[in-house]
């Protein structure tokens, strides 16, 4: 992900199960849910 951002190639990401032939569902809070739990991209900068 860091490489994506560095390369300026990051316009979005797609989440999927690694194995889509097995059952199971997981849900994550969206940006319409509790805002504190919305997906975030954390960028850490340090000079040098």
Interacting residue ranges for another protein, rule: CB under 8 A: 1-2, 4-6, 8-33, 35, 37-48
CB of 3 to another protein, least distance (A): 9
Q: Give the separation between CA 41 and CA 27, rounded to whole angstroms.
A: 18
Q: How far is the CB of 9 from another protein (least distance, A)?
A: 6
- Whether 34 contacts 27, CB under 8 Å: no
The closest of 4, 22, 3 to 13, measured between CA atoms, is 4
Q: How far is the CB of 40 from another protein (least distance, A)?
A: 5
């Amino acid at each position: 992900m860091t490489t994506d951002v560095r390369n300026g190639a990051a316009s979005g990401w797609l989440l999927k199960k690694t194995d889509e032939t097995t059952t199971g569902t997981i849900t994550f809070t969206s940006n319409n849910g509790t805002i504190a739990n919305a997906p975030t991209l954390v960028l850490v900068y340090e000079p040098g």
